Structure 1
Amino acid sequence: MTTATEVRLGAPSRRPAFSRVAWLAGGLLAAIPVAVTLFWTGLNHDVRFVLGCLRTSDVGPAGVFVHRPLAYRLVLAPTNLVSSETLIRLGALVIVALVALWLRAALRRPESSLVAAAVGLALALSPNWDFLQPEWMAGVFATAAVAASLWPKRLWVGAVLGGLGLALAVLVKYTTAPTALLAIGVVLLVDRRRALWTTVAAVPIGLGLFGLAVLIEPREWRWFHEFSVLNGASPLSGGKIDVFDLARTVMNEALQNPLFALLPVSVVVLLRLRRGWWVLLLALGVLGVFTTTLLQAQWFQYHLTPLLPLAAGVWALAVGRWYTEHGRPPWTLVVTTAILAVIEPLAAARSEQWRDNHQILAYAGLTGLVVLACVVAALESTRGSRRLFAIPVLVAVAALSVQVWPSSPYSFDFGAADNRNTDRVNTAERLVTQLGQVREQIGPDTEVLYIAFGDVAYFLGNPTPCRYPSPVFLQRSTDIPAIRGLVSYEENAACLTDPKVRYLVYNTSWLDLDKLEPRLAQEVRETFDCSNPIRTTDVEVCPRRQ
């Protein structure tokens, strides 16, 4: 029997004969990159920053400042009980798998298995710098919100559960609000009534949870206002609106993620099957993510993370729906994806100098390929074999795996283009060895003052009495003098002379003492003796003067 939802969506009455062999082959292929991330890659330095601050400060997750909202800190806080990054990743992957299965059960569509698998794999194989970031977490919560809204039979249950997912998607960073809007758009296409009530429920739930956060830790309200001040490049803080750098960020993401690059082609394929206002919703959602990226003006590609599972889901829907309707894959989309799945990692594996010298060629080539694929997809014949479902499954897995291979850099030619997955693993191994030796030398329970990026605290592990384990306010004040008038700046500065601290752990490449406010630089030099520090590649450890 065809459900009312399927009638609204224009679903065909027959179900596609998706091959079990194809699923098995795809699963075996996907196991390889998943294993790479699980047992080799480790966590990214931003997540280590947060975990390092949570683990070394004695004020607890509610009161410690990590440049992330309380909701995000509380979600990561349980990982303090686990020392293995493999187990942390495994826990996250289990959650992603459960959310993907929930989405499959909720969609009740012939293509639901393919869509849910693509979305889940896009989250599981997110680039290392994206994994467990607030934007990634927002994508998980938004996907869960879609499933929660559509799955229960009772409308009010779906509205409450879905509203909670939407609220959490926003609260993990606030600038992730467009991710919640993307989820609302998906629900809207399936069931307008549920979309309305889920949105209505999300507003009081979100406001209530934010109010609870402020009640738990009153500083959260102050930090909420100060987040934008810490980012001096943002147009909200007087910075310029840089559309060119936004375009470079988007193009670099496309050069690293084939399914993201081919989102326009996926849309063309779907338009041949079902025209409608859903295209406008999709465009508005993508524009929303682009806008928050523009306003943050930091040009980290992980700001685009929510668009990766979206693009994967749209790609899978296009392939699955075309297969359902015509008994064959949309070959233009599949073949173009296969081409990018081969070319992109080969190009990214070249030297940074080569990539920089060929950036115009890469941009123009990718743009031309996408435009050509859109034209050909619009004219593609609907006739063909019904026994080739395994090919798009394997192609999708290969495409989603591009950014997890050891040779993959963070970007093609923009931010951190010289930083490959291998480099990050090697850096982590060096920090583990060198800072482990420092910990043995000064004692694991000795309290220290960190003037260092948070991953130094993560690898060293020594406690600090400061609620700002990594002094972001002090570090940013060297470039943004306005920060020196903030209450949190003075609160952070007070840690410099805390009598309980026995050593200064100083990351010389992260903060230049000569650029600090003179009185603070003098306090540091008078309090700690850095004439003969314990040196490692990344830090100097200076004892307190007697």
Structure 2
Amino acid sequence: MQSRRLGSIAMPANARNLARSTPSIGRPRRRLTMPERCVSCPKTSPSAHPVGRRSFIEGSHGENVRRNWLILAAAAATLLVLAYPVNNNIRYEVGVHRVSGYSIAETFSHRPLTFRFVSAAQSWLPTLASESLAAPGSLARAWLFEAGFRLVAALVAAAAAVLLTVGLRRRLGSAAWAYGLAAYAGLFFTAPATGEPDWWAAVVAVAAVGTALLARESTGGSMAGALLAVVALLKISSLPIALAAVMLIAAFDRRRALWALASAFVAGCLAVALIWWLAPYEIVWLLDIRAIQPAVWTAGTSAELREYLANLAARWPTVALLPAFFVGGSRREVIAVGGATGLAVLGFVAQGQYYVYHAVPLVVLSAVLAVHTVRRSGAVLRRPVLVGIVVVAMLLVSSPDWRLVHTDGLFTATGVWVLALMLLQSLAVRAPGALPRAAVDRWAAGLVVAAMLASQTPWSAESLTLGTRDKTVMTNLAGLSAGLAGAERVRQVVGEGPVVYLTFGATTYVLGNPTRCRYPSPLFLQRPEAPGRASAATRGESLACLTQPDARWLVWDRTWLHRKGAAPDLIATIDGTWNCERAVLVDGLTLCPRREQ
């Protein structure tokens, strides 16, 4: 017997109708009869007997209007989130390319070449607009750039969601819009992660799944494979995300998945060969980055991973709902989605560091799957999920100290909530709700949008108990304003000329003084383990930047690079070139003039 197709369900009155109304994966979708569309609606129900002209989704004009209002609400929320600042990792990426004096390909930013090009493309128009409309070094210019940066992200996320919607329409029919809206919400309402390589991996993976389902097997699969090669090249740890997308494609059509996998392999190998030929130093950099990364698994990793997963479930209700997806799922659904989920988890475990933005692909996956979970239950879960959304919104604006004190209780409550959702789902699939199918679709999409927005208020913390538990949009904006004011005071000392940076890359963003160096933020000098692991050529070039002849000042953040514990050759180079005995301390930065020869 063939299994039911992923996501394609109607709103039955009992389990027998559920099985009958859910076509199998790979079987041509037949047109549903009116009783199957709403088997438990009264015969006089307008929802059971739609009238009038049908448009994008099946149903009455009123149903379309309600769906469109939901989409407009997501668009309005998008306008609000556009005003949010980006995080310091994005400022790092943008800042080092602004000041280095080298091309994007030749400047080291702790990110692979593919991501550097993608990020530069995202920054191009916002940079032009902000430079033409606001004064240099002003908060207005920074805000305009970052709002423009987010606008580009919103457009790209919308394009990926549209591709997914159109691809799914051939498989899931009128419900496809709900999955597309959920994908958009999962992608864009994840501030401040917008623009990170993990975020871009999720965007391109969503687009790849939609593309694979659009055209013929060979065409759609091959085009999707090219996109998945990009996913794998965005970051050392993004390969599992590409493989997760392949598994999701296979849930619909195994032949398309094989085409995508083969195409991705060929395109990826060609891209790596081209990079090796044109920019061999890029391969060296990637190996050096991997060499200084922390160990993937240590004695404390298990506890760290549990805390991390609990934080994800507590911040995003869709992650808490993810285990409930497997309740009542077909064998094919469980295998495909279970594999994709495991690969998404592997994507952040392999990095050995548990920053919240590393989990964006998992969050996006959970958002899309939440639609299917709610639809399978006939929206019976809508009330408990709504309660969870309200609780999450309140928790994230509560005192970070209170959350830290009550960590154990919060984690226990999160675990109980996850189990409760699974139990409720198991009951719901046996006795699904009686709402019309169109109403269930709206509930599913609306719940996901609300779940993603629960963490997007200006006062919401980036995590529950992690190191970012006290970081919010407002503290980020205040930090940017203070950083720009401090940069102005620094320029009063060092002027506008070239400098040498021994700082985190975000300092280059706010200060903006040029430096003739391929390593504006010298990671391989900052990491104490680098001398024994990174290549001698990379460290040698980084050290040479400290003695560049046209720079008159060293800008040194001693909280980022400590003198104590630094490598002897680094200290010798600093002391031989810069007179830090006469340093000026401004806004937490040590400004050392050049020694007179």
TM-score by length of 2: 0.83
Which residue number in structure 2 is paired with residue 490 of structure 1? 540
Q: Report deviation, 1:416.
A: 2.1
Partner of 1:285: 340
In structure 1, which of residues 200, 206, 217 is the aligned counterpart of residue 262 of structure 2?
200
Determine if contact 2:320/2:418 at 8 Å carries over to the other structure: yes
Please give the alpha-carbon distance, in whole angstroms, between the structure 2 residues aligned to 1:495 and 1:247: 42
Q: In the alignment, which residue of structure 1 is the partner of 2:358? A: 303
1:433 matched to 2:494? The reply is no
Which residue of structure 1 aligns with residue 80 of structure 2?
A: 36
Alignment of 1:90-239 (within 5 A): 90-108=151-169, 109-110=172-173, 111-128=175-192, 130-153=193-216, 155-235=217-297, 239=298
Which residue matches 2:16?
none
- 1:74-120 CA-to-partner distances (Å, cap 9, x unmatched) read 11123245331111111111111111111111112222110011011
The equivalent position to 2:323 in structure 1, one of 247, 251, 264, is 264
2 CA distance for matches of 1:202 and 1:152?
Answer: 17
Does structure 1 retain, via aligned residues, the 8 Å contact 2:186–2:364?
yes
Partner of 1:340: 388
**What is the match of residue 106 of structure 2?**
63
In the alignment, residue 248 of structure 1 is paired with which amino acid? E
Residues 383 and 33 from structure 1, CA distance in 2 versus in 1: closer, same or farther, beyond 3 angstroms?
closer
Instruction: Report the Cα offset of residue 285 of structure 1.
Output: 2.1
Aligned residues: 524
Deviation (angstroms), 1:480: 5.4
- 1:518 aligned to which of 542, 548, 568: 568
Q: How far does residue 392 in structure 1 lie from its aligned partner after superposition? A: 4.2
Residues 184-233 of structure 1: per-residue CA shift (max 9 Å, x gap)? 11111111111111111110101111221222211111112112212134
Deviations 1:437-460 (A, max 9, x none): 43465443x111110000100111
Which has more radius of gyration?
Answer: 2
User: Is the counterpart of residue 465 in structure 1 residue 516 in structure 2?
Assistant: yes
Deviation at 1:240, TM superposition (A): 4.7
Q: Once the two structures are superposed, what CA deviation does each residue of 1:332-378 show, in whole Å capped at 9, x if it has no partner?
A: 2x222211211012112222221011111111111112212211221
Q: Distance in 2 between matches of 1:402 and 1:118?
A: 14
Q: For residues 326-337 of structure 1, what are the structure 2 equivalents within 5 Å?
A: 329-332=378-381, 334-337=382-385
SS at match of 1:331: coil
Compared CA separation, residues 442 and 80, structure 1 to 2 (3 A): farther
Give the Cα separation in 2 of the matches to 1:177 and 1:92: 22
Shift of the alpha carbon at 1:532? 4.9
Q: Indicate how the Cα distance of structure 1 residues 150 and 384 shifts in structure 2: closer, same or farther if over 3 A, else same.
A: closer
C-alpha spacing 1:526/1:204, structure 2 compared with 1 (3 Å):
same
In structure 2, the residue matched to 1:326 is none
Q: Structure 2, unaligned stretches of length 5 or more?
A: 9-22, 38-57, 128-144
User: By how many angstroms is 1:131 displaced?
Assistant: 1.4
In the alignment, which residue of structure 2 is the partner of 1:249? 308
Task: Measure, in 1, the Cα distance between the counterparts of 2:161 and 2:367.
Answer: 13
Aligned amino acid, residue 165 of structure 2: R
Shift of 1:28: 3.8
Q: Give the residue type in structure 1 aligned to 2:80.
A: V
> What letter matches 2:184 in structure 1?
G
Residue pair 1:228, 1:234 contacting (<8 A) in 2 also: no
Contact 2:251–2:336, Cα closer than 8 Å, also in 1:
no
Paired residues of 2:99 and 2:512 also in contact (CA < 8 A): yes
Alignment of 1:385-464 (within 5 A): 385-386=435-436, 388-389=439-440, 390-439=442-491, 442-444=494-496, 446-464=497-515
- Give 1:502 shift: 1.7
CA distance 1:438–1:124, shift in 2 (3 Å)? same
* CA distance 1:336–1:482, shift in 2 (3 Å): farther
Letter in 2 for 1:287: G
* Alignment partners' CA distance in 1, 2:511 and 2:292: 26
| 2: CA distance, partners of 1:536 / 1:336 | 52
Task: State the match for 2:418 in structure 1.
Answer: 370
1:89 aligns with 2:150: yes
Summarize deviations over 1:122-148 as a string: whole Å, max 9, x none.
1011131x2111111111111111122
2:421 alignment partner AA: A
Q: Deviations over 1:505-544 (max 9, x none)?
A: 1112111123211232132133223345454434233322
Deviation at 1:402, TM superposition (A): 2.0
- CA distance in structure 1 between the aligned counterparts of 2:239 and 2:384, rounded to whole angstroms: 32
8 Å contact kept, 2:247–2:339: no
Tell me the equivalent position of 2:402. 354
| Residues 1:134 and 1:509: Cα distance change in structure 2 (over 3 Å) | same
User: What SS does the corresponding residue of 1:377 show, helix, strand or coil?
Assistant: helix
Name the aligned partner's letter for residue 304 of structure 1.
Answer: A
Q: Is the 8 A contact 1:65 1:467 kept in 2?
A: yes
Could you say which residue in structure 2 is the equivalent of 1:544?
594
Q: Give yes or no for contact 1:261–1:370 (8 Å, CA) kept in 2.
A: yes
Contact 1:233 1:240 in 2 (8 A): no
Q: 1:507/1:259 Cα in 2 relative to 1: closer, same or farther (>3 Å)?
A: same
Give the Å deviation of 1:503: 1.5
Assess if the C-alpha contact under 8 Å between 2:251 and 2:332 holds in 1. no
* Corresponding residue number in structure 2 for 1:325: none
Q: Contact 1:252/1:413 (CA < 8 Å) preserved in 2?
A: yes
- In the alignment, the residues of structure 2 paired with residue 448 and residue 197 of structure 1 have an alpha-carbon distance, to the nearest angstrom, of 51
Deviation at 1:156, TM superposition (A): 3.1
Change (3 A) 1:8 1:392: closer
Provide the secondary structure at the position in 2 that maps to 1:505. strand
2:554 maps to 504
Q: Distance in 2 between matches of 1:33 and 1:301?
A: 22
Deviation of the 1:290 alpha carbon: 2.4
Secondary structure in structure 1 of the residue aligned to 2:458: coil
CA gap 1:395/1:145 in 2 versus in 1, 3 angstroms: closer
Matched-pair contact (CA < 8 Å) for 2:244–2:344? no
> Contact (CA 8 Å) 2:403, 2:465: kept in 1 or not?
yes
Contact 2:88 2:506 in 1 (8 A): yes
Q: Could you list the runs of 5+ residues in structure 1 that have no partner in the other structure?
A: 323-328
* Distance in 2 of aligned mates of 1:295 and 1:391: 36
Question: Are 1:151 and 1:158, in contact at CA under 8 Å, matched by a contact in 2?
Answer: yes
Query: 1:162-184 CA deviation, whole Å, 9 max, x = no partner?
Result: 11111011100021111111111
Work out whether 1:24 is the aligned partner of 2:68: yes
Does the 8 A contact of 1:55 with 1:80 survive in 2?
A: no
> Percent identity between the aligned chains?
27
Deviation at 1:485, TM superposition (A): 5.8
The alignment partner of 1:513 has SS state of coil
Query: What is the RMSD of the two structures over their aligned residues, measured on CA atoms?
Result: 2.3
Change (3 A) 1:100 1:81: closer
